[in-house]
Structure formats: C-alpha cells, structure tokens
Amino acid sequence: MPTLVDVKKDGNTGYRSIVVTRCDSGIKSLDDAKGKVHAFADPDSTSGFAVPYFNMKEKLGIDPASYFAAIPFGGSHEADVQGVVNGTFDTASTYQDNDVNGVYQRMERKGMIEPGVICKIWESPEITSGPWTFRNDLPAEMIEDVTAAIEQFPAADPEGYKLYSSFDPADENPEVGFIRVDHDRYQWIVDMRAWIKEQRRGG
C-alpha cells in the first residue's frame, strides 16, 4: 500500500503529459487539432504516448487514429517539440513538471528553440511520482509509526534529508518533504497500464 510521496517546493508531487502546438498555429485546444498531424514521442513513453493516448480515447472520446490526419512517432520528446516548431507536426505530446519546467521550457533555456514559439493546449491529470509503499499484511500500527518517522525526516535531520533528496542549491524547485497518498491517487495510472496492455494484446 502507498503511504508517502516526495513533494516539491511548489507543491508538485509528479509531472504531467501535455500537448503543445505553435502559438501562432491558431490551435487553442484539442478540438481545434482535429484533422491535423499529431506526434507522439515514443510507443514506450508514459507521458509522450500512454498517458495522452489513454486520456484522449478513454476520457475525452477522441480516437487518435481517426481524429488526427496522422499520428507519427517523433522518436523523442525533443524531436516532438522541434517538429512542431518546424511545422512537421501541428501538435505533439511531451511533458512538464510545471509551467516553467518541462521539455520545451528547457529547450528554450538551452537556445534550441526560440522562446514564445511553443504553447500548451492540454495537460493530463498528475502522473504522481512513485510512493513509499508497505506490504498490506504488515501491522497497521507499524506502518503508521514508520510513515510518521519518514514524514519527520526533513525536519529531524535536514542535512541527511539533503543527501536523500540529492539537494542542489541551484535547483529553484527542490524536494522539501513528503505528503500522504493512498491507492486512489494511483488508480487511474493502474487502469491506464492495464488498458494499454490490453490494447497491445488485442493489436
């Protein structure tokens, strides 16, 4: 059973799949992207394929195979974004941690693409990071005691926590502690993985 997950300074406990387009494309939402070329990153990518594909088909009623004019794989997140910049793709799937830190934002900072060219038009529910977990057959009191001890770690041993979290003074959004999570937090991800597995078996 999951109990705790790392939390960043900005409150994030994971990352999100996003769909991007050129800001000047006139595409403001997935509705506008119908009949356009949409690139997924890689068939083995969680945020670049599984999450957007599952959400489009199961949550939004969009079958990518027929909704878009074509759904090529760009090969990587950076290639997806670059393809949108170049006009090879109208939209593409990639990911971000938050609105200032993600694939296209890092590409802007590195000078790989011009700032202000890429805009986000959709984002997934949070893909929550892997949690601290315990076997279900362990005593509930023991699970609570250990969970509480881990929760107190950042305050009880700040230097030790810096080592645990690989603290980098230059990181503007470091890990700052833990928050409690339960199985429900991960259920949609479990469902998605089962769904993807079934699609591949059927395909």
* Nearest partner of 90 among 30, 49, 45, judged by Cα: 30
User: Per DSSP, what are the bridge partners of residue 98?
Assistant: 101
Element (H, E) at 191: helix 183-202
Q: What percent of the chain has pLDDT over 90?
A: 90
Residue 74 vs residues 41, 94, 96: alpha-carbon distances, Å: 5, 10, 17
Average pLDDT, the chain: 94
| Neighbour-count burial of 145, counting CB atoms closer than 10 A to its CB (0-12 exposed, 13-18 middle, 19+ buried) | exposed
Residue 90 vs residues 27, 62, 138: alpha-carbon distances, Å: 8, 17, 51
pLDDT above 90 for 196? no
Yes or no: domain 15-127 corresponds to CATH 3.40.50.720: no
pLDDT above 60 for 73? yes
Query: Mean pLDDT throughout 70-93?
Result: 97
* Nearest partner of 34 among 73, 63, 77, judged by Cα: 63
Strands 101-102, 127-128: pairing is unpaired
Q: What is the pLDDT of residue 197?
A: 85
First to last CA, the chain: 32
Query: Mean pLDDT throughout 90-99?
Result: 96
Domain ranges across the chain: 2-10+129-185, 15-127
Name residue 151's amino acid.
E
Q: What is the pLDDT of residue 203?
A: 56
